[in-house]
Structure 1
């Protein structure tokens, strides 16, 4: 075990499944004490019980008071907070922009974008007081190139990247780094359910990328661990794209990868969790 995060305390939202669960495991393996925050108490508590020194707090990230409570829980239990990972999410509003209800639009942004603002705000306060810390948010290739996701989702992920840059510009003077990771389509349980089997999900994910390789949650977690570690101590205001080449192909004008990726996302149920 490298223990790059030994002695650190990390709070991960959406930690009960998918990328969030993989990140919680990876950070614990690197020596961090991890607070798992999720609306799914059953799976969140189960995972917390598997990780040494971990704890769980039920959190609806669309409610600012609950995000603030999760940060307070971390500080009260462990004495400080070193890393905040804003990961919780869902696909949300789906379909034509001409038919999207305003309520569905706002509910999607509440989970995908407002929650990131709450996480940066409340984790940032405790980190500024200590003159150190790292805030990470999970964006998406849909936040880098338009057309890779539903409208509300794409808007929110662009917002996450913009907020990462603007928050980093303020908090750098206080010793706090702010970065994001933009995953391509990642084979989580939600994707497997949407495709009907693991093999089908792996095949679809591989076909959606120029490299022909499916992205797994553990690979996104590895990027987040890097950004949380001292290996990235000079990195801030950065969005690390981990997408098997989808956005590069798009930049080169290969629209086939846009349509493949959009089609892959389009198969996912609109109310499913992304984290």
Structure 2
């Protein structure tokens, strides 16, 4: 256990499964107290956190709703008295369709969760982190925030927006002790990927073939990058969009 994280408090949105769950466990292993935020609670995730010795709570939240996000941060402070780290990870892929066929409803929902949700989280997280004098925020973008993908206009736009928002916040709070970065996962084996492939062998092979390393990434590999960005080892890193993608965007 690293003493640097001990008794610190981390919020992880979308923390019940996939990359969020892996990151919650990674923070717990470092000694941090963990706030798991999601639409639904995973009893298995919460049990595992407590088995790791972490003080952990679950908060139900729709990150696209300001009242939910405000409550999320307030409950965190009421419970733990502080906020040191935030991994704003909650997101959806939305419906697949070409730009001209993307519905307004799909656009609003996808951008509302993936981009507005991250802005709302930072809006309420930053004032509390400032009270500690230092802290770190990592926002979850995607390789789709660095390159385009046919058939996912709302998702791609939202993830590009996350990077711009991250850079802006990083500049605004650079002299106030808050570092803000983004992580850009490649093709990762998560429930979202299961939905995209339908768990069909041919679809899985097609997605795997996109990765130069010849395999999908694991949620723990993204979690390791997030925890590193929150550590003092990354003390000179801010405003950065880190691709953790098996070489995807190098092609």
Does 2:157 match 1:155?
yes
Q: 2:249 corresponds to which residue?
A: 247
Q: 1:266 corresponds to which residue?
A: none
Q: 1:37 corresponds to which residue?
A: 37
Match of 1:139 among 128, 141, 151: 141
Q: How many corresponding residue pairs? A: 247
The Cα of 1:163 is off from its aligned counterpart by 0.3
With 121-130 and 237-246 compared, the bigger mean Cα shift is at 121-130
Query: Retained in 2: the 8 A contact 1:71–1:122?
Result: yes
Q: 1:6 corresponds to which residue?
A: 6
Deviations 1:10-66 (A, max 9, x none): 00000011000111011101111000000013x1x4412321311101111111111
Q: 2:224 corresponds to which residue?
A: 222
The CA distance in 2 between the partners of 1:57 and 1:163, in whole Å, is 25
Q: 2:48 corresponds to which residue?
A: 50
The Cα of 1:200 is off from its aligned counterpart by 6.7
With 125-134 and 165-174 compared, the bigger mean Cα shift is at 125-134
Query: Retained in 2: the 8 A contact 1:181–1:224?
Result: yes
Query: Retained in 2: the 8 A contact 1:191–1:201?
Result: no
Moved over 3 A (4+): 1-4, 192-206
The CA distance in 1 between the partners of 2:240 and 2:93, in whole Å, is 24
Counterpart mapping for 1:84-123 below 5 A: 84-123=86-125
- Give the SS at the match of 2:101: coil
- Give the SS at the match of 2:184: strand
Q: Tell me the TM-score normalised to structure 1 length.
A: 0.84
Q: 1:78 corresponds to which residue?
A: 80
RMSD, aligned CA: 1.9
Deviations 1:95-127 (A, max 9, x none): 021122212211110000000001111100111
Does 2:27 match 1:27?
yes
The CA distance in 2 between the partners of 1:128 and 1:139, in whole Å, is 23
The Cα of 1:89 is off from its aligned counterpart by 0.7
Structure 1 unpaired stretches of 5+: 250-275
Query: Retained in 2: the 8 A contact 1:27–1:225?
Result: yes
The CA distance in 1 between the partners of 2:141 and 2:84, in whole Å, is 20
